[in-house]
Chains A and B, each alone.
Chain A
Amino acid sequence: MDMRTEYLGLQLAHPIIASASPITASVDDIRRLEDAGAAAIVMPSLFEEQLRQEAMAMDRLMAAGEESFAEATSYFPPVADSHGGLDRYLETLRQASEAADIPIIGSLNGISAEGWVGYATGVESAGASAIELNVYYIPADLAESGQDVEQRYIDVVRAVKSSVSVPLAVKVGPYFSAFGHMARELVLAGADGLVLFNRFYQPDYDIDKLEIARTLELSAAGEIRPGLLWIALLYGRLGASLAATTGVEDYRQVVKYLMAGADVVMTTSSLLRQGAGFIGQLRDGLSHWLLERDYGQVDDVRGCMSLDRVPDASAYERANYIRILEEFELAATG
Chain B
Amino acid sequence: MSEPRSVTIEGNEAAAYIAYRCSEICAIYPITPSTPMGEMADQWANQKTPNVWGHVPVITQMQSEGGVAGAFHGAVQSGGLTTTFTASQGLLLMIPNMYKIAGELTAAVFHVAARSLAAQGLSIFGDHQDVMAVRGTGFAMLCSSSPQEAHDLALVVHAATLESRVPFLHFFDGFRTSHEINRVELIPDETIRDLMPDDLVIAHRHRGLSPERPVIRGTSQNPDVYFQARETVNPYHQSVPSVVQGIMDRLAGSTGRPYRLFEYYGDPEAERVIVLMGSGAETARETLDRLTSEGEKVGVLQVRLFRPFSAAHFIDALPKTAKAIAVLDRTKEPGSAGEPLYQDVVTCLAEARAEAGGEAQSDPPRVVGGRYGLSSKEFTPAMIRAVFEELDRPAPLNHFTVGINDDIGHTSLPFDPEYVIESDETYRAIFFGLGADGTVGANKNSIKIIGEEPGIHAQGYFVYDSKKSGSQTISHLRFGPRPIRSTYLIQAANFIGCHQFSFVQTTDVLRDAAPGAVFLLNSHYRPDEVWDRLPGTVQQRIIDLGIRFHVIDAYGVARAAGLGRRINTVMQVAFFALSGVLPRDKAISRIKSAIEKSYRRKGDAIVEQNFAAVDTALAGLQAVEVPRQASRDDALSSAVPEAAPAFVQEVTATMIAGRGDELPVSALPADGTWPSGTSNWERRDLSPEIPVWRPDLCIQCGNCALVCPHSVIRARFYHESRLDDAPEGFRSAPLHGRGFPEIRYTLQVAVGHCTGCTLCVDACPARSPDEPNIRAINMEDKAPLLELERNNLEFFRTLPEADRGRVDFSTVRGVQHLTPLFEFPGACSGCGETPYLKLMSQLFGDRAAIANATGCSSIYGGNLPTTPWAKNEEGRGPAWSNSLFEDNSEFGFGFRLTADTQRKQAETLLLRLVDQIGPELVEELLEAPQDEESEILLQRDRVAELRTRLEKLDSPDARHLESVAEQLVRRSIWIVGGDGWAYDIGYGGLDHVLSLGRNINILVLDTEVYSNTGGQVSKATPLAAVAKFAAGGKPTPKKDLAMQAIAYGNVYVARVAMGANPQQTLLAFREAERYPGPSLILAYSHCIAHGIDMRFGMRQQKLAVTSGHWPLMRYNPVLRNEGRNPFMLDSQRPRASLKDYAEREIRYRVLASTNPQNAERLMALAQEDIVVRWGVYEEMATRGDAAFHFAGAAKEARRDA
A71 proximity list for chain B (CB < 8 A): 32-33, 35, 124, 859, 1012-1014
Check A210 for interface membership: any CB of B closer than 8 A.
yes
Q: Are the CB atoms of B32 and A62 closer together than 8 Å?
A: no
Check A141 for interface membership: any CB of B closer than 8 A.
no
Q: Are the CB atoms of B1091 and A61 closer together than 8 Å?
A: yes
Contacts A65-B468, A75-B1088, A83-B1156; is A70 near B1013 (CB within 8 Å)? Answer: no
B473 and chain A: residue at smallest CB distance: A68
In the complex, A84 Cα to B600 Cα: how many Å? 10
Selected from A51, A76, A81, A118, the residue in CB contact (under 8 A) with B1146 is A76
Q: 19 A-B Cβ contacts within 8 A?
A: A52-B603, A54-B603, A55-B604, A61-B1091, A61-B1093, A68-B435, A69-B464, A71-B32, A71-B35, A72-B1011, A72-B1012, A72-B1013, A75-B1015, A75-B1089, A75-B1091, A77-B1029, A80-B47, A84-B602, A88-B1152
In the complex, A88 Cα to B1151 Cα: how many Å? 12
Least Cβ–Cβ distance between B491 and chain A, in angstroms: 21
A70 proximity list for chain B (CB < 8 A): 32-33, 124, 175, 464
Q: Are the CB atoms of B1088 and A81 closer together than 8 Å?
A: no
Q: Are the CB atoms of A81 and B1154 closer together than 8 Å?
A: yes
Q: Number of residues in A with C-beta < 8 Å to the partner?
A: 41
B607 and chain A: residue at smallest CB distance: A55
In the complex, A68 Cα to B1152 Cα: how many Å? 27
B1013 proximity list for chain A (CB < 8 A): 71-72
A-B residue pairs, 4 tightest by C-beta: A68-B435, A55-B603, A72-B1014, A210-B772
B565 and chain A: residue at smallest CB distance: A60
Interface 0/1 of B584-608, CB less than 8 Å to A? 0000000000000001011111100
Least Cβ–Cβ distance between B777 and chain A, in angstroms: 17
In the complex, A320 Cα to B1156 Cα: how many Å? 53
B36 proximity list for chain A (CB < 8 A): 73
Q: Are the CB atoms of A73 and B601 closer together than 8 Å?
A: no
Check B1153 for interface membership: any CB of A closer than 8 A.
yes
Check B173 for interface membership: any CB of A closer than 8 A.
no
Q: Are the CB atoms of B1012 and A211 closer together than 8 Å?
A: no
In the complex, A57 Cα to B1028 Cα: how many Å? 20
B602 proximity list for chain A (CB < 8 A): 55, 58-59, 82, 84
Least Cβ–Cβ distance between B294 and chain A, in angstroms: 37
A61 proximity list for chain B (CB < 8 A): 1091-1093, 1146
A59 and chain B: residue at smallest CB distance: B602
Q: Are the CB atoms of A79 and B1154 closer together than 8 Å?
A: yes
B469 and chain A: residue at smallest CB distance: A68
Contacts A61-B1091, A69-B435, A76-B1026; is A82 near B1154 (CB within 8 Å)? Answer: yes
In the complex, A163 Cα to B207 Cα: how many Å? 65
For chain B, residues 1021 to 1047, give those with C-beta under 8 angstroms from any C-beta of chain A.
1026-1031
Number of A-B contacts (CB under 8 A): 147
Task: Identify the A interface with B (CB < 8 A).
Answer: 51-52, 54-84, 86-88, 91, 115, 118, 210-211
In the complex, A86 Cα to B1030 Cα: how many Å? 25
B563 and chain A: residue at smallest CB distance: A56
Least Cβ–Cβ distance between B468 and chain A, in angstroms: 5
B473 proximity list for chain A (CB < 8 A): 67-68
B1027 and chain A: residue at smallest CB distance: A77
Least Cβ–Cβ distance between B775 and chain A, in angstroms: 11
Q: Are the CB atoms of A58 and B767 closer together than 8 Å?
A: no
A55 proximity list for chain B (CB < 8 A): 602-606
A118 and chain B: residue at smallest CB distance: B604
Q: Are the CB atoms of B1153 and A56 closer together than 8 Å?
A: no
B1029 and chain A: residue at smallest CB distance: A77
Check B436 for interface membership: any CB of A closer than 8 A.
yes
Least Cβ–Cβ distance between B253 and chain A, in angstroms: 35
Least Cβ–Cβ distance between B1116 and chain A, in angstroms: 36
B10 and chain A: residue at smallest CB distance: A73
For chain B, residues 165 to 190, give those with C-beta under 8 angstroms from any C-beta of chain A.
175
Q: Are the CB atoms of A68 and B436 closer together than 8 Å?
A: yes
Selected from A74, A77, A210, A211, the residue in CB contact (under 8 A) with B1031 is A77
Q: Are the CB atoms of A72 and B1015 closer together than 8 Å?
A: yes
Check B326 for interface membership: any CB of A closer than 8 A.
no
A65 proximity list for chain B (CB < 8 A): 435-436, 468, 828, 1088-1089
Q: Are the CB atoms of B471 and A69 closer together than 8 Å?
A: yes
Q: Are the CB atoms of A56 and B603 closer together than 8 Å?
A: yes
Interface 0/1 of B1070-1106, CB less than 8 Å to A? 0000000000000000001101111000000000000
Q: Are the CB atoms of A77 and B1153 closer together than 8 Å?
A: no
Given known contacts A59-B602, A82-B601, A115-B605, what 13 new A-B pairs fall within 8 Å (CB)?
A61-B1091, A64-B436, A64-B1088, A65-B435, A67-B438, A68-B471, A69-B435, A69-B468, A70-B124, A71-B35, A73-B36, A77-B46, A82-B1154
Least Cβ–Cβ distance between A140 and chain B, in angstroms: 17
Q: Are the CB atoms of A68 and B1027 closer together than 8 Å?
A: no
Q: Are the CB atoms of A210 and B767 closer together than 8 Å?
A: yes
Contacts A52-B603, A59-B602, A83-B1156; is A74 near B1014 (CB within 8 Å)? Answer: yes
